[in-house]
Chains A and B, each alone.
Chain A
Amino acid sequence: MEESMEEEEVLIYEAMMDDQNHNNWEAAVDGFRQPPPTPSSIPVPACEAPGGQLLAVPAVSVDRKGPKEGLPMGSPPPPDANGVIMMLKGCDAAAAVAKAAPAPTPSPSSAININTSTSKFLMNVITIEDYKSTYWPKLDGAIDQLLTQSPGDYIPISYEQIYSCVYKCVCQQHSEQMYSDLIKKITNHLERVSKELQASPPDLYIERFNIALGQYMGALQSIVPLFIYMNKFYIETKLNRDLKDDLIKLFTEHVAEKHIYSLMPLLLEAQATPFQVTPSTMANVVKGLYTLRPEWVHMAPTLFSKFIPNILPPAMESELSEYAAQDQKLQRELIQNGFTRGDQSRKRAGDELAYIFFSDSSSACASSRGYR
């Protein structure tokens, strides 16, 4: 039951992904282009040139095929195998092909050269209007979903679909616009997150900050891979920057910086009161802040040193007695707070604590998806 719900969701999503610009048409054309492979057949490499294939898509071939093309391998039908959508697409695609077919010219050789080298992906010119009305909204929707879901949730979005959309926009020279739209979108989102945080009561503040941080970093785990084409072929080469760094910086500027001064006293206070905040939350928040801006260590070196190795100056032999005194003080305090040292049977529980506190990799925290 759950499975079919999911599938439906996907289909709706895919339907939404289509648009009047036939952005998805090549998928449908693919469906019609070749006779359905028989389940036993070994894949035979197709040899026609892309242009030839395109021209060989007659509208007649629409009824040659059933709406569902069985995968020879017996996997579940792909989401685009929706009969109605495919039918519509088929017609549109044929029309698009007809429209895109070049007018016959007296010197066909050169004209054909140009035509065959035009890829199916890039066949339709994407104007800035197309980008605004069709492509960006699609990306916008996907980003929204990724930003608002909880880390670890199942993501119903197809990587291939969104990546293709980014790819097309980059190849059609919309990188600059897309990059600025992406930054604008995420900035707006983060400003909203920051406002929500501001409204949190102090006792929930750290926890909510942790959730916001975790959710955003989780979302980046998906958003950054979606935009790798833009990152590689625009941001890295033209701007000499990195998308992930840019997006993390946005969180620093629009959320963390605005909250650091209210957050820090609460963190210090929570640190002094064991279990006011769960140790994993403390660890996440402190490590997160350190990732965002290492200089924040100076606001509370001792607090940060509990979670990040090697940030305090190295131990000095001359101060050994002072360290010992500190340890003794800590132990006294623990005893006062009900932690006795004599009970050996509690050793395992103590181990767990140690694990949470001192494991150094960010992956140790199950709910966090890591910041790097």
Chain B
Amino acid sequence: MEAEEVVQIRLEGRCYPVSKRKLLEQSDYFRALYRSGMREARGAEAGGPEVQQLRGLSAPGLRLVLDFIDAGGAREDGLLGAVPGEEDADEAGVLSGLVEAASFLQVTALLRLLLYQVRLGNCLELHRLAQVHGLPDLQEACLRFMGAHFHQVLHQPHFPLLASGDPGLQQRLREARMTGTPVLVALGDFLGGPLAPHPYQGEPPSMLRYNETTERWFPLASNLPPDLVNVRGYGAAVLDNYLFIVGGYRISSQEIAAAHSYNPSTNEWLQVASMNQKRSNFKLVAVKSKLYAIGGQAVSNVECYNPEQDSWNFVAPLPNPLAEFSACECKGKIYVIGGYTTRDRNMNILQYCPTSDIWMLFETCDVHIRKQQMVSVEETIYIVGGCLHELGSNRRSSQSEDMLTVQSYNTVTRQWLYLKENTSKSGLNLTCALHNDGIYIMSRDVTLSTSLEHRVFLKYNIFSDSWEAFRRFPAFGHNLLVSSLYLPNKTET
């Protein structure tokens, strides 16, 4: 049996022997070289081994590629295992050497293998390399990974440097996060027991998702992190398709400053930087890729969370501490409406501009509202629920105080519209979310005065100005939060 033909690959004065057959199998470069009929295609000089000179590649990168070729292109889980750990400054260099050698020699099998090697530590570098070498599949894989781990990628130390060379990158990643199916998700301390919706047994899930076609709730294969269980009065907001749960108080009544985010792309909770100020019964609002934690129990300061730095910073405070107020984003500004100041009813609509970091009095209104929820569509703010009190009016205030209403306020025309009411439902302690074409509203509360139980799950359709009630309420429980998130398509069954 004849020995296999061996080619010496020469780089920087060193030779690496490789089987010629395997080279031809794995490398399009060598296949084309031998086909080209050019100088190097002649093969070995009489008596000597065949030498193929390469230039410009990095030796460690070439060695990894040749090892791969020598292994016959077999799947090697340790492909990047040979690359030193993430903290090693050389990793990027070795990685780039590997990608370059694999691209230059066109070792397609190895390039394909790289698609499964994308990690937090290398995704930015791999993405850059994929762009340089024109590897659309790898670029796509990196974008998918970075989209799924967007905030973690954002605060990679070298992100700003790499992103500066690719100004559209952040925007593309943000768009990549907004794909999938918009799904209504409910969080809460759901109670188990015989009335719990089937089919789950054992520990009741704390996260549910709603299937609109079957009108049923299903558990999400993730639960609230243990330190969020039994936390009330937290702030919640969706930023870049992450659901943030921030602050609040424990049953034992201590306020907390911790912040967590749920990432639907990975179905994971992450603890992020805590606020500087412990606060509860405040509002968390997402504006222009940042979060704002506004006020709280006897607190007037405002903090801003920047996912790029994973840190909170104080910005301009509210003029007064407010209680039972609400806030939402509208056209890049924050609007605060209703509630009480330390002395009086708050009749002012406050507007905060993140760019100039200034709070200003937007308008004073003649209806007092408190404990409402607010969402916005374009320039219109929808005010859902809450207690209304028209000053100087002789309306039967006792009635209007406890019913579910929807009003709108147009921030351009400054016009109020009383849209819809539902007198049989309570407008207090509800949670709502903008989802598809309507505002989905949910509440489950026992009013102490009447010991009547309110179980509400309905939708206000903002286009047809009509109510739509749903039969299935998720579960018995309290501390509910409803939210609309894009879930990856594969988990939608």
Query: What is A's interface to B at a CB cutoff of 8 Å?
Result: 10, 26-27, 30-31, 33-34, 36-37, 43-47, 49-53, 69, 71-76, 78, 80, 109-114, 116-122, 155-160, 162-164, 167, 170-171, 175, 221-222, 224-226, 228-229, 232-234, 237
Query: B29-73 vs A: 1/0 string, CB under 8 Å?
Result: 100110111111100010011011111111111010000000000
Contact B51 A71 (CB under 8 A): yes
A-contact bits for B149-166, CB 8 A (1 contact / 0 none): 000000001100110000
State whether A76 touches B45 (Cβ < 8 A).
yes
The answer to whether A46 and B97 touch across the interface, beta carbons within 8 angstroms, is no
Bound Cα distance A225, B35 (Å): 7
| A159 close to B45 (CB less than 8 A) | no
B57 contacts A121, C-beta separation under 8 Å: yes
- A119→B97 contact, CB < 8 A: yes
The smallest beta-carbon distance between B20 and chain A, in angstroms, is 15
Q: Closest CB of chain A to B86's CB: distance in Å?
A: 11
A147 to chain B, nearest CB (A): 14
Q: Which A residues lie within 8 Å of B52 (CB)?
A: 160
Are the C-beta atoms of A45 and B59 separated by less than 8 Å? Answer: yes
Which of A34, A51, A73, A114 has a CB less than 8 Å from the CB of B49? Answer: A73
Interface flags for B85-121 (1: CB within 8 Å of A; 0: not) read: 0000110111111001001101000000000000000
Assess the B55–A30 pair: CB atoms within 8 A.
yes
Residues of B within 8 A of A (CB): 8, 10-16, 28-29, 32-33, 35-41, 45, 48-49, 51-61, 63, 89-90, 92-97, 100, 103-104, 106, 125, 128-129, 132-136, 157-158, 161-162
Task: Output the nearest chain B residue to A36 by Cβ-Cβ distance.
Answer: B13
Contact B55 A113, beta carbon cutoff 8 Å: no
| Cβ contacts under 8 Å, B96 to chain A | 50, 116-119
Q: Which 8 A-B pairs have the closest CB atoms?
A: A233-B134, A225-B32, A116-B93, A49-B93, A225-B36, A46-B59, A50-B58, A117-B96
Option from A112, A170, A224, A228 in Cβ contact (under 8 Å) with B134 = A170
A160 and B157 contact, CB distance less than 8 A: no
Which of B40, B93, B135 has the most chain A CB atoms closer than 10 A to its own CB? B93
- Residues of A near B45 (CB, < 8 A) are 75-76
Q: Which of A31, A222, A225 has the most CB of B within 10 A?
A: A225
Query: Taking CB as reference atom, which chain A residue is nearest B39?
Result: A158
| With A49-B94, A50-B93: A155-B37 Cβ-Cβ less than 8 Å | yes
* Complex contact A228–B60 (CB within 8 A): no
22 A-B pairs within 8 Å (CB atoms) are namely A49-B93, A52-B93, A69-B13, A73-B8, A76-B45, A78-B10, A109-B89, A109-B157, A110-B157, A113-B161, A117-B129, A119-B100, A155-B39, A156-B39, A159-B32, A159-B36, A159-B38, A221-B35, A222-B38, A225-B33, A225-B35, A228-B29
Contact B13 A31 (CB under 8 A): yes
User: How many angstroms from the CA of A2 to the CA of B92 in the assembled complex?
Assistant: 48
Chain B residues with Cβ under 8 A from A75's Cβ? 45, 48-49, 51
**Which residues from chain B contact A159 at a C-beta distance below 8 Å?**
32-33, 36, 38-41
B56 touches which one: A49, A117, A121 (CB < 8 A)? A121
Q: Chain B contacts of A224 at CB under 8 A?
A: 32
- Would A45 and B60 be within 8 Å (CB), given that A119-B96, A237-B134 are in contact? yes
Asked whether A34 and B14 contact (CB < 8 A) given A75-B48, A75-B49, the answer is yes
Q: Please state if B93 and A43 are interface contacts (CB–CB under 8 Å).
A: no
Which of B16, B39, B95, B133 touches A233 (beta carbons < 8 Å)?
B133
Which residues on the A side are within 8 Å of B28 (C-beta)? 228, 232
A74 neighbours in B (Cβ, 8 Å):
48
- Bound complex: CA A114 to CA B319 (Å): 46
Question: In the assembled complex, how far is the CB of residue A111 from the closest CB belonging to chain B, in whole angstroms?
Answer: 8
Residues of the A chain whose Cβ atoms lie less than 8 Å from the Cβ of B95: 117
B36 in contact with A226 (CB, 8 Å): yes
Name the CB-closest residue of A to B158. Answer: A110
Across-interface contacts of B132 in A (CB, < 8 A) = 122, 171
Q: Do B134 and A171 have beta carbons less than 8 Å apart?
A: yes
Q: Do A114 and B158 have beta carbons less than 8 Å apart?
A: yes
Give chain A nearest CB distance to B13 CB in angstroms. Answer: 5
Q: Which residues of B contact A71 (CB under 8 A)?
A: 10, 15, 51
A234-B38 in contact given A109-B89, A110-B158, A114-B158 (Cβ < 8 Å): no
Q: Could you tell me if B92 and A117 are in contact, using CB atoms closer than 8 angstroms?
A: yes
Among A44, A73, A155, chain B packs the most CB atoms within 10 A around the CB of A73
Nearest chain-B residue to A27 (Cβ)? B55
Contact of A110 with B13 in the complex, beta carbons under 8 Å: no
